[in-house]
Structure 1
Amino acid sequence: MTLNYQRILVAVNKSAGADRALEKAVATAKRNHARLDILRVIDINSLQYEAGGQTVIDGQDIYDIEQSNEEFLTELREKILRNDGLDPEQVFVHLRFGNPRTVILDDFQPEYHNDLLVIGGTEMSLFKRMLAGSVTSYVPRAAQCDVLITKK
């Protein structure tokens, strides 16, 4: 049975797992003539650091991070349009700040009505997954749409 997806969401984070997820999402969008939303979520907690017992976050650093990620997403979109044969009206890139679980599942997917979410399998060790959890382990349980997890 082939499912006909119309709105595909792929979460990218500059990891090998995310690269595999993007490849699978692009192929699925091409096969289904579907819209492809490419989402990069910057985890706010990862931007904070301790300095003298206080949490310090510099506005210029945030701006620089935002600009470099916007550039990354724009280049990624252009590469997909050039190499994979998708139309410009099919491929959209998005940058959000926040907790990746919350942004993907509670904000983005309901707003854009994606019917397929593609994510890369976690590359964390078992110990790290037990301590922090992973988006990949959480998403399938909480998603309101089909989820495809890519593996190595």
Structure 2
Amino acid sequence: MLQRYKNILVPVDGSREAELAFKKAVSVAKRNGDETTLHLVHVVDTRAFQNISSFDTAMVDQVTETAKKTMEGYVESAKADGVKNIDFTVEYGAPKAVIAKDIPEDQKIDLIVIGATGLNAVERLLIGSVTEYVTRTAPCDVLVVRTDLDNKPALKKDAK
């Protein structure tokens, strides 16, 4: 019996990895039929603004507006590809917790499709990988995308 996913979460941040994850998620949603909903999320990491001495809400508003425009483009693309049920949200907080715990619980997510990280080993050690955290702690299946729609390697390896 084929696994059917009804609620698929795709975190997008404008990166190439997120773009690949989005395309795979659209493909999975189409195979799963009209009862499947694709939930897109962009998480504004509020910790990034903690070190700004003259915190300006206009900066957050600008980041939010840019994220919304990006998300609307993703929605249009998915609909053009035949996905009927798609929504998006812009959330605020720590991306790890929002993606791995908060949204899966609130939206009854049964699959998270997330791009592989571009971080190198030292960066992962110091700040941790959102993808690694999500795969370790999410209450549902997680698909880490490293390939294009033809399953060909799409991500460059670190140059040495």
TM-score of the alignment, normalized to the shorter chain, above 0.5: yes
Deviations 1:112-150 (A, max 9, x none): 001001100010111101100011111111010000001
1:147 counterpart residue number: 142
**TM-score (norm. length: structure 2):** 0.86
Identity %: 34
With structure 1 as the length reference, what TM-score do the two structures score? 0.90
When structure 1 is superposed on structure 2, of 25-34 and 67-76 the one drifting more is 67-76
Contact 2:43 2:93 in 1 (8 A): yes
Once the 2 structures are TM-superposed, how far is the Cα of residue 86 of structure 1 from its aligned partner? 1.4
The 8 Å contact of residues 48 and 56 in structure 1, kept in 2 or not, is answered as no
Q: Is the 8 A contact 2:9 2:41 kept in 1?
A: yes
Instruction: Decide whether the 8 Å contact of 1:117 with 1:145 is kept in 2.
Output: yes
SS of the residue 1:70 aligns to = helix
1:2 Cα shift? 2.8
Contact 2:12–2:42 at 8 Å: present in 1 too? yes
Matched letter for residue 36 of structure 1: L
What is the aligned partner in structure 1 of residue 54 from structure 2? 56
Q: Deviations over 1:7-46 (max 9, x none)?
A: 1011111111111111111100010021100111111122
The Cα RMSD (Å) is 1.3
The residue that corresponds to 1:35 in the other structure is 37
Q: Secondary structure at the match of 1:148?
A: strand
1:107 corresponding residue in structure 2: 102
Aligned residues: 145
Q: Which runs of 5+ in 2 are unaligned?
A: 147-154, 156-160
Runs of 4+ in 1 over 6 A off after TM superposition: none
For the pair 1:92 / 2:90, whether they are aligned, the reply is no
Gaps of at least 5 residues in structure 1 are: none
